[in-house]
Structure 1
C-alpha cells in the first residue's frame, strides 16, 4: 500500500484545519450572539416545545451542538435550568446539529467553495482591523467559515485514492460484509472517532468524504452517523465531572436520550434506510445504493430525519427520562460546610455572565438569610424561630429576656468575613473576565452593594448588642423600655423581610418594608425629643442617654440597610443602584 506516513500527517493536518475553522466560526458566532443566545436559553424553556425550539435555534446559529450542550450543563449547574428543561434544549440541539451536515453536503460537495475560500479569508481578515468589536467578530466568523471549507478540501485531497490503493478497499471489505455485525462495528467506529476528535461535525465530514470516495456503502455510513450521535455526548459528560449533581444529571440525560434513539433505530435500521433511499430519489437525487456520489445527500437526509423522529418520539417521555436520570444520579446533599466557606461559588460558573450572576445571587442570599439573620437576631437576644413565627411582636420581646452569650465580632470573623471576601473577589473577577452588558454589570454592582451593606449591618448591630446586653434586665424600667422598643422595631423588619422573601405574593410585604424604611428616616426627631424628656425628668442617667443617642442612630441605619439588602436580593433588580453608586 502506497499511503505512507507523510500522507497520514497530511490527513491529520487537513482535519486540524477543518476543526480550527469550525472553532473560529463557532467562537465568533458566540461572541456575536452569545449574550442573546444565553438570554433566550434562560427564558424560553418554560415548556418542551419552547425548549426544543431554543436548542435548535442556538445550535443552528452557533453551528456547534457541543457548545450548546456545554451551555446547558453550565446553566443546569447554576440552577437556571431544571432537568426537564435541559432535556428539551438537548433534543433541539440534536436537530440543530444536522444543519452542519447539510452545509458540508451542499457547499462541500455540490458547490466548489475552494475557489472563493481563500479570498474570503482575506476579506474577513480586513474586518479584524476595524475598531467595532462586532465587526471584528464578523471578520473572525468569515475566516472560520472559509477555513472550514479549505480544511474540507484538504481532507478530500488527503484521502487515499482507492484506485491507486486497491489494498485499502480489500482491507475494508473484510469488515463491510459481516451483516449486522458490520453495522455495530461502524457504529462503534463513529463513536470512537467522535470521542477522539471531540467534534461530531468533523466525524460527519470524514464520513461524507469516505462515502463519496467509495470507501464504505450507505448503510455503514448511516451506522457511523449513529455512532457520532453517541460520541458527541462525551463533551457534556466531561464538563459535568466538575459540576454538581444537576450538571451530571443533564449530561447523563443527553447520553440516555441519544442511546435510546440509536437503540430503536437499530431495530428499524434497514426499513428506515430504504425509506431514506426512496425519499432521496423522490427529491431528485439518485439512490445511495446505486451511486456513491448520492450517498452524502442521503446521509444528510438520514441524519436529519432520524433526529427529528427521535425527538418527536421521545418528547412525550421527557419526565420518565428525567426520573430515570434522577435514579442513576440521585440528588446529593452537599458535604457540610462551615458558613464561612462559599457554598455555591465555583470556577465553572464563571464561564457565562448569566451563571456567574445567578451563583453570586445564591451565595449572597444564603449569607443573608443564614449568617446575617442569625447574628442580628441573637445580638438583640431574640430567637430566629420566634421571628419566623406568628407570635405577636410584643410577646416575642417579652419572652426574650434571657441574655444570650453573643460575640458579634467573633461571629463576623468565623461566619461572614471569609465568604464576604470570596463574594467580592468572585464578582470582581466576573467583571474582569466576562463580557458583560450594562444591565449585567449593574446586577453585579448591586450584589457587591448588598454584601457591603450586610457587613455594615453587622457593625451597627455589634455596637447595639453591647448596650442591649447591658440594659436588657436593668433595674431602670425606662431604659429597658427604650431598648425593648428598639428590639421591637428590628423584629418587625426581620419578620417582614422573612415574609417578603418566602411568600409568593410578596408585593404587600415589599410595601411594608418601604413604609418601615420611611419610618426609620422620620423617627429621628421624635427619638431625640424622647431622650430629652427622659433626661429632664431624671429618669435616665447621662451615660444611658449617650448610649440611646448612638443606638437610635445605629438601629435606624441598620434597618435601612436590612431593607436595602432585601430589596437588592429579592426585589426588582436595579431598584437601588442609582442611589447607592
Structure 2
C-alpha cells in the first residue's frame, strides 16, 4: 500500500480543516461583537452562569483549549476567582462539541454534502469578500469561507484514508484500541495533545469513521482521551503564571480525568459484560458527535454538584490559597489577547477600575486641605503610586492589543482608552499635588479664612462633580453625562477666574494669610485642570458613541 499518497493528502486535509475552523471562528467572533463584549458582565454571577458562558464562548471561538487558556489568564489577572473559573471550564467542554456536529451534518443533512456545498461556500465567501465594503460583509465572508474549507478538509482526510479499509493491520490497530480502554484513552490524549485541539482531533476520528475504520468501543475510549489531551494547552499556558492560575489549569485536568474514569468504567461494564457485540460495530460520524456531546454534557451534569470538591482538591495539589487582590496590580493577562474582543472589554473594565480609584482620591482630596489629616495625605500619595502603576500596565497592554488583527472601530476604541488613561492619571497627579498643599498648610500651621474656605469648597464641588460625571459617561456610554461634564467644566473655568480675582483683592487688603493665599491660588489651578481633563474624557466618550 502506498502510504505516502495517504499521509500527504491526509495532512493537507487536516491543515485545511484546522485553517477553515480558525477562519470561521474568527468571523463568528467578530460578528458576535458587542455580545462577546457583554459576556464578561456575567462573570460575577453564579457558577451555572459560568457554565453557560463557557459553552457560549467556546461555541463561537470553537476551541475549548482557547477558552481554558483565557480562563487561566483571567484567574492570573485576578478578574475571575477559581469558583467562577470552574463553571466556565465545565461549559467549555460542552461548547467544543459544535464542530463535531458541523462535520457530521453531511450524514444527517443531504444538502450539506461537502462535494456539492463546500466549493460553492468558498466561492460565495470569496465573492462577498471581494465586493463587500462593510465590515459585516467581511465577517460573513470569513464565516462562509471557513465553513467551506472545513468541509473540504474533512472530505480530503476521509478520501485519503479510504484505501485503509482494505488494510487488515490498520483495522487491527483500532480493534486493539477498542479492546484496551487504556490504550484507546492514551491514543486520543496523545493525538489531541500534539495538535492541541480537541475539535480537530474529533475531526480526524470522524474522517476515519467515514471510511468505516473505527469500531464503536475504540471511538468511545479515544473520545474520552481527547478530553484529557486538550488540557495540555492550558497546562502549558499556566507555566510561569501565579499559583491560582496553575490551579485553574489543574482543575480543568482533574475535571476531565474524573469524567473519563467514571464513563470509562461504565463503558467497560457495558462492552465487556452487558453487550460485548456492541463495541465491535463500526461507528458513524453522527454517532461520534452524539457520543462526544453525551460524554461532555454527562460529565458536566454529573460533576457540577462536586465542583467545589474539585476546586479544593486542585488547590490542595497546587498548594494555593486565594489571597486578597493587590489593587495596584493590573488585572490584564496576555492570554486573554487570544480573544481580542474580550481583551478589549477587559481593558475597558480595568480603565474604569482605575477611574474609581481616582474618584476615591478626589473624595479624600475634597476635605484634606481643611482637615490636614496625615492619614489622608499619605492615602493620596499611596493612591497616586497605585494609579501610576495601573496607567503604565494598561497602556502597555493596550499597545499589545492594538497590534493585533482587530477592526478599525476597535483600533479607535483602543486609542480612546489610551487618551482616557492619560487624563485619569493626570487627575491623580493633581490629587497628589493637593495632598502636598495640605502638608504645606500643616507644616506652616496656617489655614484658610472662612470666605476662602467657602469659595474653595464651591470650586471643589464643581470640579470633582465634573470628573464623577465623566467617569459615569465612560462606564455607561452616556451622552447625557458627557454633556453635563462640559457644562461643569465651563462653570469651573468661569469660577476659577472669579475666585482668583476675589482672592487677589483679599491679599491686597491683607484679609488673609499670604502663605495660605498662595496655596489657595495653586489649588484653584489644580482643580481647574482636573475639570479640563474630565472634559477631555467626556469628549472621548462623545466621539466613541457618535
Give the TM-score category using the shorter length: 0.7 to 0.9
- Bigger mean CA offset, 524-533 vs 133-142: 524-533
Q: What is the total number of aligned residue pairs between the two structures?
A: 517
Match of 1:132 in 2: 134
**Secondary structure of residue in 2 paired with 1:159:** helix
**Correspondence 1:62-461 to 2 at 5 A:** 62-107=61-106, 111=110, 112-129=113-130, 130-159=132-161, 161-162=163-164, 164-170=166-172, 175-176=176-177, 179=179, 182-241=180-239, 243-271=241-269, 289=279, 291-292=281-282, 294-329=283-318, 330-331=320-321, 343-344=330-331, 346-350=333-337, 351=340, 352-362=343-353, 382-384=373-375, 420=391, 423-427=394-398, 430=401, 433=404, 435=406, 445=416, 448-449=419-420, 451-455=422-426, 458=429
1:247-281 per-residue CA deviation (whole Å, 9 max, x = no partner) reads 43332222221111111112211455699999xxx
**Correspondence 1:497-516 to 2 at 5 A:** none
Residue 520 of structure 1 deviates from its aligned partner by 10
State the TM-score, normalizing by the size of structure 2.
0.75
C-alpha distance in structure 1 between counterparts of 2:165 and 2:448, whole Å: 104
Residue 91 of structure 1 deviates from its aligned partner by 2.0
Cα separation, partners in 2 of 1:349 and 1:218, compared to 1, 3 Å: closer
Greater relative contact order structure (CA < 8 Å, 6+ sep)? 2
Match of 2:508 in 1: 535
State the TM-score, normalizing by the size of structure 1.
0.71
1:504-549 per-residue CA deviation (whole Å, 9 max, x = no partner) reads xxxxxx9xxx9x998997587467546534532x4568x6587256
- 5+ residue gaps, structure 1, are 279-286, 389-405, 501-509, 569-573
C-alpha distance in structure 1 between counterparts of 2:389 and 2:543, whole Å: 27
* Conserved 8 A contact 1:353-1:435: no
Match of 1:60 in 2: 59
Residue 121 of structure 1 deviates from its aligned partner by 1.4
Cα separation, partners in 2 of 1:522 and 1:226, compared to 1, 3 Å: same
C-alpha distance in structure 1 between counterparts of 2:274 and 2:293, whole Å: 11
1:537-580 per-residue CA deviation (whole Å, 9 max, x = no partner) reads x4568x65872563352354377579x59x98xxxxx7994499
1:469-506 per-residue CA deviation (whole Å, 9 max, x = no partner) reads 378436xx677889988999999999999xx9xxxxxx
C-alpha distance in structure 2 between counterparts of 1:240 and 1:251, whole Å: 7
Q: RMSD value over aligned CA atoms?
A: 5.1
Larger Rg: 1
- 5+ residue gaps, structure 2, are 470-480
Cα separation, partners in 2 of 1:124 and 1:447, compared to 1, 3 Å: closer
* Conserved 8 A contact 2:372-2:441: no
C-alpha distance in structure 2 between counterparts of 1:51 and 1:464, whole Å: 43
* Conserved 8 A contact 1:467-1:547: no
**Secondary structure of residue in 1 paired with 2:28:** helix
Cα separation, partners in 2 of 1:6 and 1:431, compared to 1, 3 Å: closer
